[in-house]
Amino acid sequence: MASKIDNITKVPDVRGMNEADMKLALDGFLRNLYSSGASAPAGGNIIKYLELVQNVVWSRQETENIPEDKRLMILGEDPPDEAEVDTEAITFYLDSRGPGQHGQGSPGTNTVRERTHHVRSIQQHPEHPSEKLVTMGRSFDNYVVFNIYARTDYQALQRVLWFENVMDSFRWYFKVNRILSLQESAERIGLVNVGELSLSKYSLVFYVKTEDIYQFGSQELKEIVVNTNIVKEG
């Protein structure tokens, strides 16, 4: 299935590297990421996550020297259009989404949910010395389904194992972007018809914790509080 993506982030694929080479690759990546005084990623939403998945799938195929016109892409339409399928395809959809759960237990076991934004940090404002910079955040629990399509069941199973390895190998990359991505399950769906094609289909479910972040100065915060109180009194 041929496709192309422009200006894709160059992500180092550290699979198989020794410790020294891995350190060099990651140091270079982080230097580029935080160049020009840029701060750490401010948290990623679900769209950002899907872009990161696209990046790591592309990066692994670059490591494997797959020609660009033969590389798999993550498609947003499920089932895929028959014209988009050569021998294989990977699609995705957001199955469910809700306020993030908090606590020390595993995903799905906690009962306290973050239904509003809360303060993540307060630090000196880099541009206004007399102000503080307030960072607010709200987490979300997402369940994303990736579907693997292939001409044969064996080919589909091979791609499932490949995709699992990619997502596990690049877990550090999601973490750098402040996103938690954990596989929940993999299941064989069976044969499905896509146009005139009969394809084998597997589904993989991932639990994805994302965070919506925004920032403002302390003076702006005071103005919000005052204006909110005025509205309430009116």
Q: What is the tens place of the pLDDT at every residue in 20-44?
A: 877 777 777 666 655 544 444 455 7
Give the rounded percent of residues in the chain with a pLDDT score beyond 70: 72
Give the rounded percent of residues in the chain with a pLDDT score beyond 90: 38
Q: Please, is 7 exposed, middle or buried when counting C-beta atoms within 10 Å of its C-beta (0-12, 13-18, 19+)?
A: exposed
Alpha-carbon distance 147 to 4, whole Å?
20
This prediction has a pTM of: 0.74
Alpha-carbon distance 41 to 43, whole Å?
6
Angle at 177 between CA 173 and CA 182, to 5 degrees: 60
Q: Say what the pLDDT of residue 123 is.
A: 76
Give mean pLDDT, residues 197-205.
95
Query: pLDDT tens digits for 101-146?
Result: 766 566 556 567 766 666 666 777 777 777 777 777 778 899 999 9
Q: Say what the pLDDT of residue 50 is.
A: 92
Give mean pLDDT, residues 158-176.
94
Q: Say what the pLDDT of residue 219 is.
A: 63
- Computed over every residue of the chain, the mean pLDDT equals 79
The total of other beta-carbon atoms located within 10 Å of residue 159's CB is 20
Per DSSP, 40 falls in state P
Alpha-carbon distance 212 to 44, whole Å?
6
Torsion sign across C-alpha atoms 102, 104, 51, 147: negative
Residue 1 confidence (pLDDT) above 70:
no
For the chain, domains (ranges, CATH) are: 19-101+137-213 (3.30.2000.10)
Q: Say what the pLDDT of residue 38 is.
A: 44
Q: Say what the pLDDT of residue 204 is.
A: 97
Residue 231's pLDDT band, with cuts at 50, 70 and 90, is very low
Q: Half-sphere exposure of 28 toward its Cβ, with a 13 Å CA cutoff?
A: 11
Secondary-structure breakdown of the chain: helix, strand, coil percentages, each rounded to the nearest 5: 35, 35, 30
Give mean pLDDT, residues 168-196.
92
- Give whichever of 31-45, 63-77, 178-192, 202-216 has the largest mean pLDDT: 178-192
Residue 234 confidence (pLDDT) above 50:
no
